[in-house]
Amino acid sequence: MKRLVILAALAASSSGLFASVQSAYAVCDGCVVGAVNNMNANVTAQIQTSTAAIITALGQSTAQLSGYETRTARSQQRVEDAAQQIETMRQRDLARAKAEGGRYDPAPSACRDLSGVLQFGGGTSSQGVGGNDLVNAARNRGRGNEKEGDEVNRGGLAIAQGIVNDREELKGLGGYLDPTTDLRLMLEPQTLDTSEGEVAKAAARLVNNIVDPTPARPLTDGEKKTPQGKAQLAARQIDEARRSAAHSIFAYLGDLAAPTGGSGLVDWAKKAAPASYSNTIGDKVSTQQVIDIFVQSRFSNPDWHQELAKMAPEAVNREIALTNALNLHVNWMMFQLMKREAAVSATQLATELDNRDTTGTAITTRFQTAAAQ
């Protein structure tokens, strides 16, 4: 457009100049000077007019082009804004579709199991006789203290009679022919309901029969003042210290199997346990059974494996985090047991050294051997 305007202006200027020249030649016969002056004036005027027209045309063309550029920029901006709005709406629709499809929903198993794992030991610390209670009763019996030490105070026949009476009274308890001598009573059940009197009595007698079945009669005050009594008292103290290593193992095992938590933990256990769960879930559960249900609800539960295949990555990550937390807890429990096992090993080593000391530790020399021969 700009080029067309300029060409038109130049054409108009040339035609005017040509006409002026023709007019000038026409009057040459009259006054040559005047004709030339008139021709110059006309040419100058024509040039000025043409130049002004050209400048005006150029200005109009520039303004027109500037307007075109402005409208083009605005149009491009509107196109970009519209594209951004469309992309925003598309991403919003995608997020909504994922949410409606359950991508961000927690896994059903995570909801069930988190409620249980967070209640380890929750509520009442123990709803029955715990492992430490069993050990305290065993130590009282060995020292002749309180009610547990009554038969020890009465002598050896009373001790033997108590062992036999408990065997007859508790026979068949928990499905065991003689639970007072069968360690499976504490190891096999996921929850040992020691809130029942007979179960607690059987567990206590079992610990006594293993660690210290026939304690010696307690020394009287007069006997403790004699040299023989003091030696006997010191020997018994040594025995009690070494028996405490074995007691620590049973205290830990008893605490794991003793019922803990409250009714909320029992409700969780019954809901979280898979249909194939083989252990009995009673009115009380232990920390040990909570862990067992957690593992069985996953490893041996085909429904959980199917759920896992359908879970979104976020839900799978939650399952991984939950399992790692449980592994950390179980590793800590194993560490606690390892500490007790180390104490038992040290006690056994010390006892063996004592037995060797009583037989003599002298090293036979060559001279002594020859003399003996």
Q: Is residue 364 part of a domain?
A: no
Domain ends where: 47, 73, 100?
100
* Cα(76)–Cα(197) distance, integer angstroms: 87
Q: Is residue 28 part of a domain?
A: yes
Q: What integer pLDDT is reported at residue 20 of this predicted model?
A: 52
Lowest mean pLDDT among 96-105, 246-255, 339-348: 96-105
92 and 235 assigned to the same domain: no
Q: Is residue 225 part of a domain?
A: yes
Q: Give 22-78 pLDDT, tens digit per residue.
A: 554 444 445 566 666 666 677 677 777 777 777 776 667 666 667 667 777 777 888
Lowest mean pLDDT among 10-14, 135-139, 188-192, 297-301: 10-14
Q: Is residue 366 part of a domain?
A: no
Q: Give 145-154 pLDDT, tens digit per residue.
A: 888 888 888 8
Whether residue 197 is predicted with pLDDT greater than 70 in this model: the reply is yes
The tally of domains found in the chain comes to: 2
- Residue 52's domain spans which residues? 2-100
Q: Quote the percentage of the chain above a pLDDT of 90.
A: 24
Tokens of 35: 């004709």
231 and 86 assigned to the same domain: no
Q: What integer pLDDT is reported at residue 15 of this predicted model?
A: 54
List 260's β-bridge partners, or say none: 285
Averaged pLDDT, 331-360: 88
More confident residue, 213 or 71: 213
275 and 208 assigned to the same domain: yes
18 and 119 assigned to the same domain: no
93 and 116 assigned to the same domain: no
96 and 121 assigned to the same domain: no
169 and 305 assigned to the same domain: yes
Q: Which residues of 135-156 are buried (b: 16+ CB within 10 A; e: fewer)?
A: bbbbbebbbbbeebbebbeeee
Q: What is the dihedral of CA 304, 310, 316, 319, to 10 degrees?
A: -20
List 286's β-bridge partners, or say none: 259
Q: What integer pLDDT is reported at residue 105 of this predicted model?
A: 66
Q: What integer pLDDT is reported at residue 2 of this predicted model?
A: 46
Q: Indicate the SS3 state at residue 258.
A: coil
256 and 176 assigned to the same domain: yes
78 and 214 assigned to the same domain: no
Q: Is residue 215 part of a domain?
A: yes
Q: Is residue 181 part of a domain?
A: yes
142 and 86 assigned to the same domain: no
119 and 252 assigned to the same domain: yes
Q: What integer pLDDT is reported at residue 165 of this predicted model?
A: 93
Q: Indicate the SS3 state at residue 285.
A: strand
Whether residue 207 is predicted with pLDDT greater than 90 in this model: the reply is yes
Query: Interhelix angle for 313-358 vs 227-257, to 10°?
Result: 160
Q: Give 247-300 pLDDT, tens digit per residue.
A: 999 999 999 998 887 777 888 888 888 888 888 888 888 889 988 988 888 887
* Cα(246)–Cα(205) distance, integer angstroms: 15
Q: What integer pLDDT is reported at residue 56 of this predicted model?
A: 76
pTM: 0.64
**241 and 350 in contact (C-beta within 8 Å)?**
no
308 and 331 assigned to the same domain: yes
Q: Is residue 363 part of a domain?
A: no
Domain ends where: 100, 133, 154?
100
Tokens of 66: 């500037």
Whether residue 7 is predicted with pLDDT greater than 90 in this model: the reply is no
Q: What integer pLDDT is reported at residue 217 of this predicted model?
A: 87
Domain ends where: 100, 135, 159?
100
Lowest mean pLDDT among 89-93, 233-237, 308-312: 308-312
User: With bands split at pLDDT 50, 70 and 90, how would you rate the model's confidence at 124?
Assistant: very low
Q: Is residue 370 part of a domain?
A: no
Lowest mean pLDDT among 17-21, 262-266, 299-303, 349-353: 17-21
Whether residue 320 is predicted with pLDDT greater than 90 in this model: the reply is no
